[in-house]
Amino acid sequence: MTHALGFTEEDLRRLAGTRSFERGLGYRSAVSRVEIGDETITATVDGTDAYEVELTEDEDSGLTGWCDCPFGQEGNFCKHCVAVGLAVLQEAGSVPRQRSAAASRTRLLDGWLESRTREELLALVREQLSDDRDLRRRLELRAAAAGEDTGIVRERVLSLLDTRPFARCGYVEYADTHAYHRQAAEALTALRALTASGRSAAAVEVAREALRVLGRTYGEIDDSDGLIAGVASGLAEAHLEACRTARPDPVETAEWLVPYLLDEVNDAAGIDLVDYREVLGGPGLARARARVVAAWRANPKGWAEKHLLERLLKADGDGVDALVEVHASDLAPNGHTHLVIARALEAAGRAGEALEWAERGLREAVSEGGPDSDLVAFVCERHERAGRLPAVVAVRRNLLRARPSLAAYQHLRKAARTAGTWDGAERADALDVLRAAGRPGKGRACNGSVLVDALMDDNDLASAWQAATDGHADQRQWRALADLIRDRQPADALTVYLRSIEPLREQTGDRAYERLTELLLSARACHRALGTEDDFSTYVAALRAGQKRKRKLMALLDRHGL
């Protein structure tokens, strides 16, 4: 199927960004050797060097570009990609014809190959092998995997995973990762070929060595695109596939698997012990459990040990009590572990115990930030489902008293309104808690009081103004209050704005000038509401006279008619 271009000049600008797009405009004449296929466009762009560019059109992901220039190899849609895209757009009318021609050439080649004799095809392949070293190496590996010499396969697989030819000062940079990935991916082909050819036992051993080698070097590779993690995951899948076919000794498999999983350098492979349940069977699971439990008891706070024990219990079909024991040995100070236990118990049909653990987490939380928000939500949702609305209010009330904050006040208000108990003593008591929390401190690092924020959030502006007058507001809150009352109490709001302007007279810089202008605009609105615009004009004239050397400020005031 042939089709026209599925991208526009705007797509190129969006992908590249303005700067790269504009640079690409100057490279259109440097584009050569354009070849248009069904979904890909390849070309060469002459810049500092001759760069190879490939544009790909996909119905799902749209247009993507790759270039072997340094900027392009970092994953960017570079100026060279832009140049190729623009060059092709100039000839968009001929694209369907070129794609039709490309499809015809493919059909012609397929037909010609199918008409060759075995001897002619062999001669053709040998000719290509003599000119293409990489192709020869890949086919040698496939031949070894299909033959009897496992040693050759092992040696080739490990050499394919060797990062040294791609490393600079011991590290594989992003620009070299794609080339390394193309080579390393051949190891997967060889391993799968071993299993497919009836030598799955050999594939098990080679896969173990390959996983060990890649795990040891993975930290020395810039794998920002996740390509090498994909190879590691593929090696893990090949190992499991080989194990399922070869049925290696389950105890020996457990002896290899547990230490491998406990070593955090092997995380990239993503092996899950649960997937090996059938391979390990009863004897293997028993041995794995003994080793994992011993490792966990030696290091109960270790993430790897704890996670592996959880997975083992699932693979072993053990009860939830064993899982609770694991988590209960190392409870997080914010109650998150209590939540993990509660969810496990609830999933096992033990809702009562689940709620007990969750409520215990609320009581025992000692972290500075308070209990885990998901834990709080868990407890409140369970009480709400059961119609225990006063219990939800009690939880939210206790949290506000322990750590007064606007969020805690809002949660309590919502819960109490649902329970029908907000207007009255509940709200009054909550405000008393916030009032007792104290007044704002001095200095830029200090925030205003929660009391004023809560009253403004309630839209109780009269009480918020009184609280501010009593010393509970900082400058931010005073200005926020002034904005809220300006239409109804312009005189009070004007006092706040003028007071805020004074310290800005001594400051310089764009931010200070913008803030001063905003306050003057607000003050002008108050004067208009009061009918005292002449007073405002006099005030601004005096201010401008004192600030006339600040040219940026003067320009900003002019722009706003001040």
How confident is residue 446, by pLDDT bands cut at 50, 70 and 90? very low
Please check whether residue 192 lies inside any domain of the structure: no
Q: How far is CA 453 from CA 97, 435, 493, in A?
A: 67, 11, 17
Please identify, among 115, 146, 170, the residue that sits at the C-terminal boundary of a domain: 115
Task: Return left, alpha or beta for 471; rule: phi > 0 is left, psi -120 to 50 is alpha, else beta.
Answer: left
Burial of 353 (0-12, 13-18, 19+ CB in 10 A): middle
Please check whether residue 459 lies inside any domain of the structure: no
How confident is residue 1, by pLDDT bands cut at 50, 70 and 90? very low
Residue type, 133: R
Please check whether residue 445 lies inside any domain of the structure: no
Residue type, 283: P
Please check whether residue 253 lies inside any domain of the structure: no
> In the prediction, which pLDDT does 298 show?
82
The answer to whether residue 19 scores a pLDDT higher than 60 is yes
How confident is residue 145, by pLDDT bands cut at 50, 70 and 90? low
Please check whether residue 27 lies inside any domain of the structure: yes
Helices (H), strands (E): how many in the chain? 27, 4
Q: Can you tell me the mean pLDDT for 243-250?
A: 94
Please check whether residue 508 lies inside any domain of the structure: yes
Please check whether residue 506 lies inside any domain of the structure: yes
Backbone φ and ψ for 148, nearest 5 degrees, come out as -110, -15
Question: What is the pLDDT of the chain when averaged over all its residues?
Answer: 87
How confident is residue 447, by pLDDT bands cut at 50, 70 and 90? low
The answer to whether residue 493 scores a pLDDT higher than 50 is yes
**pLDDT, greater one: 268 or 207:** 207
> In the prediction, which pLDDT does 4 show?
64
How confident is residue 227, by pLDDT bands cut at 50, 70 and 90? confident
pLDDT 10s digits, 295-338 = 877 887 788 887 887 777 766 655 677 778 777 877 889 999 89
Max Cα separation, the chain?
Answer: 103
How confident is residue 270, by pLDDT bands cut at 50, 70 and 90? confident
Please identify, among 115, 148, 182, the residue that sits at the C-terminal boundary of a domain: 115
Q: Would you say the pTM of this structure is higher than 0.75?
A: no
Please check whether residue 43 lies inside any domain of the structure: yes
Please identify, among 97, 115, 133, the residue that sits at the C-terminal boundary of a domain: 115
The answer to whether residue 3 scores a pLDDT higher than 80 is no
> In the prediction, which pLDDT does 319 show?
60
- Distance, first Cα to last Cα, the chain: 65
Task: Return left, alpha or beta for 71; rule: phi > 0 is left, psi -120 to 50 is alpha, else beta.
Answer: alpha
498 Cβ contact partners less than 8 Å away, ≥ 6 residues apart:
523
> In the prediction, which pLDDT does 148 show?
63
How confident is residue 440, by pLDDT bands cut at 50, 70 and 90? low
Q: Can you tell me the mean pLDDT for 340-344?
A: 87
> Domain range holding 531?
486-559
pLDDT 10s digits, 538-561 = 999 999 998 888 888 999 898 888
Q: Please state the domain count of the chain.
A: 2
Neighbours of 15 (CB within 10 A): 21
Long-range CB contacts (within 8 A, 24+) of 174-177:
174/73, 174/74, 174/75, 174/222, 174/224, 175/70, 175/73, 175/74, 177/221, 177/222, 177/223, 177/224, 177/225, 177/227, 177/228
How confident is residue 175, by pLDDT bands cut at 50, 70 and 90? confident
pLDDT 10s digits, 103-139 = 888 889 889 999 999 999 998 988 888 887 777 776 7
